Amino acid sequence: MIPKKAISGTNLEQAKSHNRRVVIEAIRINGALSRAAIARLTALSSQTISNIVEELEAAGLLQPEATLKGARGQPAVPYSVNPDGGYSIGLQLDHQLAVGVVTDLSGTVRVRIERDVDRPTPTQAMPLLAAISSDLIATSRLDRTRLLGIGMAMPGPFGVDGMTSVGPTALPGWQDFPVAEELERLTGIAVIVENDATAAAVGERLYGVARKLDSFVYLFIGTGLGAGLFLDGHLYKGSRHNAGEIGHIIVRPGGLPCDCGKRGCLERYVSLRAAYDRLDLPDPDHASPDLLEELLASGDSRFEAWLAEAVEPLRQAIDVLEMALDPETVVLGGFMPLPVLEALAGRLEPLHLSVSSTSARTTPRVVVGAAGKDTSVLGAAALPIFSETNPQFDVLQKPVG
């Protein structure tokens, strides 16, 4: 029998790394803060904060702002995150588009590149993604020593027989393909790969409506449907990095057939593909999400019928997520146009009774995300930044070995 890894303590360097992330997180959430304010918010000693701020300023990650004059004592110097302290490349691959961006530590997009694709295989996509990365670096003229890495978002699930690369909501030929390793080989840059829903959740946590939330679910409505889970201050990915693949939970037993082999899966009712199928479009593989916004604006009866059909399965999924995970809110986002997301959100009331049905709540049970159609690629760009700056409590409870 193979012994199960035990939980170890931490060493001093791990604790220092964690504390640096805690300081950056406090400033990122609250804006510019003085050392005294950081100490109060983080419960770290004044000397520890002083040392960390000096280290982060020397590293170019923090910058001093104009001095604040107080009632007594020395004027306080607030510190903010230095946007030029680091850069990240985000790549997003989907059925019709490959998109790349360069963002700084503030989340500002410095350069954006878009290329048309048609359900690309790895052989087609990898050279293109490497070329986009090279073009982004050349165009942005960023300091390569400040490049934190490449984040890539693509549809999941990963490594699941009968689901990965199966059906119109998936990309063909990606089963067991080593995406991160191959892209790193082609670019010479460290790569982090996540499914599009998880990447979008990270982006929303850093820059969007979930900026100050510790627990939320991000429902990514794209060609299919998935959920990014941010719980108790950190991402939850599951044992095989496939947590949140709720598009394949059954909401209508015996309902519409799904390419995974089941019937009545959620994404057969709530997704771009579900809308295209309901509209009986002649070429759904190449349909544009913008069409849905046009149909909504015109009051198209077929589109209104899809909205009516989608609401109850979505309401049911939100009920399950609230009861199972007790999030502060559920965020609706993805490639679905903003007016359509708002129309869906508006039709969800009344939501089912759940543990989220409390008068004490300060956040709506369902909100629409802020990142728009680039939510996935912005989230992808956020992955290396998130990895470098978000407190990771698992470093304090690291398995031995």
Give me the pLDDT at residue 391, please. Answer: 65
SS3 328: coil
Q: What is the pTM of this model?
A: 0.85
**What are residue 265's DSSP bridge partners?**
250
Mean pLDDT for the stretch of residues 300-318 = 96
Whether residue 217 is predicted with pLDDT greater than 50 in this model: the reply is: yes
- String of b and e for 143-152 (b: at least 16 CB within 10 Å)? eeeebbbbbb
Do residues 268 and 247 touch, judged by C-beta distance below 8 A?
no
Give me the pLDDT at residue 169, please. Answer: 59
Superfamily of domain 86-192+380-389 in the CATH hierarchy: ATPase, nucleotide binding domain (3.30.420.40)
- Domain at 12-81, CATH from 2.40.50.100, 2.40.33.10, 3.40.50.300, 1.10.10.10: 1.10.10.10
Do residues 245 and 162 touch, judged by C-beta distance below 8 A?
no
Whether residue 161 is predicted with pLDDT greater than 70 in this model: the reply is: no
Length of the chain: 401
User: Mean pLDDT across the chain, nearest whole number?
Assistant: 87
Superfamily of domain 201-377 in the CATH hierarchy: ATPase, nucleotide binding domain (3.30.420.40)
Extended beta strands in 97-256, E state: 97-104, 109-116, 147-154, 191-195, 216-221, 225-231, 234-236
Extended beta strands in 213-299, E state: 216-221, 225-231, 234-236
Which among 175, 35, 90 is positioned nearest to 378, based on CA atoms? 90
Distance CA 326, CA 143 (A): 42
SS3 271: coil
Which among 67, 72, 59 is positioned nearest to 32, based on CA atoms? 67
Mean pLDDT for the stretch of residues 66-86 = 80
Q: Where in the chain is the domain with CATH 3.30.420.40?
A: 86-192+380-389, 201-377
Give the pLDDT confidence of 32-64 residue by residue, as tens digits: 999 999 999 998 999 999 999 999 999 999 999
Distance CA 310, CA 163 (A): 22
Distance CA 310, CA 289 (A): 16
Give the pLDDT confidence of 167-187 residue by residue, as tens digits: 565 677 887 889 999 999 999
Mean pLDDT for the stretch of residues 118-141 = 95
Give me the pLDDT at residue 387, please. Answer: 76
Whether residue 125 is predicted with pLDDT greater than 70 in this model: the reply is: yes
Give me the pLDDT at residue 7, please. Answer: 39
Angle between helices 289-298 and 301-325 (to 10 degrees): 110
Distance CA 122, CA 193 (A): 14
Distance CA 322, CA 355 (A): 7
SS3 219: strand
Strands 62-64 and 79-81: antiparallel
The contacts of residue 2 (CB under 8 Å, 6+ apart) are none
Whether residue 237 is predicted with pLDDT greater than 90 in this model: the reply is: no
Give me the pLDDT at residue 15, please. Answer: 77
Confidence of residue 155 (pLDDT cuts 50, 70, 90): confident
Structure tokens at 215: 């627990």
Give me the pLDDT at residue 4, please. Answer: 44
Mean pLDDT for the stretch of residues 284-304 = 94
Give me the pLDDT at residue 275, please. Answer: 96
Residue type, 263: R
Confidence of residue 250 (pLDDT cuts 50, 70, 90): very high
Distance CA 192, CA 381 (A): 10
Confidence of residue 163 (pLDDT cuts 50, 70, 90): very low
Give me the pLDDT at residue 165, please. Answer: 45
